[in-house]
Each structure stands twice: as structure tokens, then as C-alpha cells.
Amino acid sequence: MVGTEATLEDLLFRGEPDWLRDRRRAALESYERLPMPSKTDEEWRRTDVSRFDPAEYAELEHDVAHVTHHEPLPNGVILESLPAAAKAHADLVAPHLFSLLRPSRDRFTALHAAFFTGGNFLYVPDGVVIEEPIRAEHFSKASGTRVLPHTLIVAGRGARFNFLDEYIAEDENEAGFRSGSTEIFLGEGAHVGYVSLQKWGRKAWHFGDQSARLEKDAKLTLFNVTLGGQFSKTRVEASLVGQGAEAELKAIYLASGEQFFDFHTLQDHQVGNTRSDLLFKGALQDTARTVYAGLIRIEKGAARSDAYQANRNLVLSEHAKATSIPMLEIDNNDVRCTHGATVGPVDPISMFYLQSRGIPAATARRMIVQGFFGEVLERIPFEHARRLVEAELEARLG
């Protein structure tokens, strides 16, 4: 058992409000009731969690995110730690927190909801535009601990801004239980750019969820970067509930050594005249493995929906393996949907071309990988995050 009532009470000693305490207890009950995922569950059929025991990581590291924003925030904007906002702004936090990421979904979502440690709350009122990106850094400082930050973002009608979450291990060899989950609510006509950069320790177990709800004419650009963890499972989901809503979901991942990355995505078109565009690109080397499974769901009333989904994998070693499973579930005939997946090695013709011009093989391969990611890097919604991700990739590619 990962947590007892006493453990939960210790966590709540910080004076959290009653509604949050009750929500944590309900999540813990869900955790204790739900079975461990097994290979008979479709989502977990290719993902082995039998070696993960949360009880090994009982000590909680409280997340105190370092938030950077140099300009004064416009009037009405709320940017606080999530625990502080839960007390001071319960009217805004309580209706949204864990309404997209429901603890009843599975054991790991329930565990995160019961024991999440810190994180941030951002509320941007109707019509407010924030020009400078907001950057939040979440740190893990020790092995053998749990660090489970949660980000909650609420954008009012016509609000516009960009947000970056970085998940950083102070020692890249740290072991532990990590998460980094986010809920994003976009009001009518809101435009939000969100980037998640995950670089936890190479021996960490990471479970993360990013889920967004888009109202009429809202536009979301969500970009996920996965680099850290010996095991990383990430869900990215967008629910388009208002006509004219657009979700652009992009990701890059670079797996090496014995890393295992699992991605599940959902583009849920609940009403018509909505658009989603997903592109996940990954490179694998050594004995790394990745699994991608994505679903486009077009519901009955969602006529004239337009959805695109692609997963591209570049395999840099004969021992690395990528599995890709794109899926469609369409209940309306008046739609346009495209999906596809590729898994392949470095193009030998490209390698020959570069080496014939005197470029060493290792450098040529690095150039090809950088070019492979280039199409997606260009879609990072703001320059600061783009430079940061490019620098991380260059460092990891040598």
C-alpha cells in the first residue's frame, strides 16, 4: 500500500482546505480499489509496470516551482502555487481541478491526485493578453522520492498567453517516482501555447497526463518534449467541445540506453467544425523502446470535423524498437480524417551524400536527426522554448 491515512494527514498538515482534503481522500480510495494495470488492458498491453512499486518511493518531495516572468502581470491575472490558490481562490480552482484528469481512470492517475505535491495555478481573465511567456521550473533533488507536481491553467474568453513547464532532475541519474500533469481550460476564443519539457532522472519512473478542453473558437498549441526517465508514460488529450475550436498537438522524444517511452493521445471532436492536427516525432538509439497509440474520435454530432494524426520514428540502432498504432473512431460521415505512422532507419542515401562530402559518420547522423526534428521544432509556439529545446537536443545528441 503506497499511502496510509496517516501519510495523507501528514501531507495535509499544511492547512489545505476541506474540499481539497476530501478530494485527496477520495482519490486515495480509488487508488486502493483499482487494480494494477495488466497486459490484458488494451492501453497497457505493450507497457510493463510490474517492476514498479510506488511503496519504494514513500518520501514526498514537495514541489516548489521557480516561476519566471519579468514583466508585471496584467490586472486580474492569478499566478500562484496550486496549494496557495486552492485556499485563496477555491471558486476558480475547485470546479476545474481533476475534472479532466479523473482519479477513477486508473491507479496512477488516482495516486497522482491523492499525493500531488505543489505545482502552479494560472488564471487569465477574459480578454487579457500576456506577451511574455511564463516559465515554471519543477526540480527533483534526491533519489528514492516522489515528486508529483500539477499545473492547472484556466484561460478566459479571448485570453492569449504562452506557458512553459520544465521538469528537471538536479542529478540526471536520480531514481524515483515522478509525474508532471496538466489540465488546461480554454474559454471561447482563447489562444494558448503550452510546452512541457520533461528531463527527469534517467532512472525515474514517470507518469504524466496533459488534458485540455477547448470552447468555441479556442486554439491550443500543445508541445511535449520527453527526454528523461527509465520509464515514461504520457497521455496527451484534447476535447474540442465548441465549434471552431482548434488543437495542434506536437511532440518530440529522444530515447537512448534502455529507456522506455509510452504515449497515448486522444483527439476528441465532440462538436462539428473543429480541427485537430497531431504530429509526434521520435528518435531511438541503443536498446530503447517506444510505444505510440493515438485515437481520433469523431462523435455523432461532429459534422465537418477535420483531424490529422501522424507518428514518425527514426530508429538509430538495430536493437531499438518503435511500435506505432494510429486509430480512428468515426460516428459521422461528413468529416475529413487522415492518420499514418512510419518506423524506419536513417536513410543510407542521405548518409552517403553527407559522408561523400567529408562529413564524419557520427556528425552526419546527428545532422540527419536534427533535420528530422526540425519540422516539429518550428512549431514550438514561442521562441524561448524553441531555443531551450534545441539546446537540450544538441547536448543529448553529442
Looking at residue 208, its amino acid is G
Report strand pairing: 203-214 vs 175-179: parallel
- Helices 361-377 and 348-355, packing angle to 10 deg: 120
- Of 27-41, 264-278, 355-369, the least confident: 355-369
**Using an 8 Å Cβ cutoff, are 228 and 169 in contact?**
yes
pLDDT of 230 > 60? The answer is: yes
- Going by their DSSP bridges, the two strands 66-68 and 145-147 should be labelled as unpaired
Cβ distance 105 to 19 under 8 Å? no
- DSSP sequence for 276-312: EEEEEEEEE-TT-EEEEEEEEEE-TT-TT-EEEEEEE
User: 33-55 burial by CB neighbour count: b if 16+ within 10 A, else e?
Assistant: ebeebeeeeeebeebebeeeebe
pLDDT of residue 14: 64
- CB-CB contact of 160 with 189 (8 Å): no
At 42-61, the pLDDT tens digits run 899 999 998 999 889 888 88
The DSSP output letter for 129 is B
Rounded mean pLDDT of 108-133? Answer: 95
Strands 78-81 and 119-124: antiparallel
For the packed helices 107-115 and 18-33, what is the interaxial angle rounded to 10 degrees? 150
What pLDDT, on a 0 to 100 scale, did the predictor assign at position 61? Answer: 86
Report the DSSP beta bridge partners of residue 281.
Answer: 252, 312
| pLDDT for res 65 | 81
Chain-centroid distance of CA 81 in Å reads: 19
pLDDT at 11 over 80: no
pLDDT digits (tens, 9 = 90+) for 162-218: 999 999 999 989 999 999 999 999 999 999 999 999 999 999 999 999 999 999 999
Degrees to nearest 5, angle at CA 372 with 225 and 166: 15
Spatial neighbors of 110 by CB under 8 A, at least 6 apart, are 27, 28, 30, 31, 34, 103, 104
Q: Grid coordinates standing for 85?
A: 490558490
- 241: pLDDT strictly greater than 50: yes
**Is pLDDT at 12 greater than 60 in this prediction?**
no
Quote the mean pLDDT of the chain: 92
The confidence score (pLDDT) of residue 2 equals: 47
Of 217, 177, 212, the residue nearest 194 (C-alpha): 212
pLDDT at 365: 82
Residue recorded with cell 459521422: 332
Q: What is the pLDDT of residues 83-112, one digit of tens each?
A: 999 999 999 999 999 999 999 999 999 999
pLDDT-derived band at 3, boundaries 50, 70, 90:
very low
Note whether 143 and 114 are within 8 A (CB): no
* pLDDT confidence of residue 351: 77
Closest CA to 195 of 142, 151, 131: 151
Domain ranges of the chain: 5-242, 346-398
Residue 364 gets which letter from DSSP?
H
Q: pTM above the 0.75 mark?
A: yes
